[in-house]
Amino acid sequence: MFDLSGKVAVVTGAGSGIGAAIATLFARQRAHVVVLDVDEAAAKQIMAGIRDRGGRADAAGCNVADAFEVTRVFGRLDGTHGRIDILVNNAGIAHVGTLEQTSETDLDHLYEVNVKGVFLCARAAVPVMVRQGGGVILNMGSIASLVGVPDRFAYSMSKGAVLTMTMSIAIDYIKQGVRCNCICPARIHTPFVDKFVARHYPGREEEMLNQLSKYQPIGRMGTPEEVASLALYLCSDEASFVTGQAYPIDGGVLVG
């Protein structure tokens, strides 16, 4: 089950955290993984780790908010591999603040990466998928796509858009064999979280990590590997009857 042999899987924001876990797991399941990240060195490091374990992977630097760069990178991928079977739109950034604490610059930046980035990458991949007779797009939403989260105005805006883009892509391309779903995680413990806490709450790191853990009724944050396992199911042939859906992976937030 969950065999990805013969499939080309593109994962954005795969230089660390959830994206790296997804890329690593997909390679273990025999996909040829293309590791994309705005930090090209980080992408190449993940690629090297996959190859060291006998997997197949390429890597490239890619700013998903830059239309020219996305077109160039995806055009090169199509020319090299001739197909794109899976696109995981994982690249994203965070922001803390209410409406009044969010500047126009903050809002624009969140939109450019979290919304426009998904649009640009999906727009580059869909024609290839339609041409080959099908494919899978998996977008990284958030629990903020589904419920209100305090002090996350701009971030919630962007992840709400990811949810509705997911449904739109699913309905528009269902007859062409393209499935599109999104994952909606609660707090996931990644290196990004550790850096974010250290930068914004110096001296209170342990307290804030504890607070982030307690947000989930299950009492802890999730792991990148747990999100990757759900991503594997949704991108595999075992999920061929699933499209246009949002899958929470939230430690009980929606029922707590």
Q: In this predicted model, which residue has the larger pLDDT, 191 or 73?
A: 73
Q: Is the pLDDT of residue 14 over 90?
A: yes
Q: Is the pLDDT of residue 244 over 90?
A: yes
Give residue 200's pLDDT: 83
Q: 174 with 243: CB under 8 angstroms? A: yes
Q: 134 with 178: CB under 8 angstroms? A: yes
Q: Average pLDDT of 146-151?
A: 95
Q: Is the pLDDT of residue 46 over 90?
A: yes
Q: Give Cβ neighbours of residue 247 (< 8 Å, ≥ 6 apart).
A: 181, 182, 183, 184, 230, 234
The superfamily (CATH) of domain 8-185+224-246 is NAD(P)-binding Rossmann-like Domain (3.40.50.720)
Give residue 196's pLDDT: 85
pTM of the model: 0.96
Give residue 47's pLDDT: 98
Give residue 192's pLDDT: 86
Residue given tokens 């995680």 in the structure block: 185
Instruction: Tell me the C-alpha distance between 40 and 111, whole Å.
Output: 22
pLDDT digits (tens, 9 = 90+) for 102-115: 999 999 999 999 99
Break the chain into its structural domains and give their ranges. Answer: 8-185+224-246, 188-221
Q: Average pLDDT of 49-56?
A: 98
Own/partner pairs, 110-115, CB within 8 angstroms, 24+ separation: 110/154, 110/155, 110/157, 110/158, 111/157, 111/158, 111/161, 112/65, 113/64, 113/65, 113/158, 114/155, 114/158, 114/159, 114/161, 114/162, 115/158, 115/161, 115/162, 115/165
Q: Average pLDDT of 165-183?
A: 98
Q: Which residues are catalytic?
A: 155
Q: 13 with 7: CB under 8 angstroms? A: no
Q: Is the pLDDT of residue 256 over 80?
A: no
pLDDT digits (tens, 9 = 90+) for 20-44: 999 999 999 999 999 999 999 999 9
pLDDT digits (tens, 9 = 90+) for 183-223: 999 999 998 899 889 988 999 999 999 999 999 999 999 99
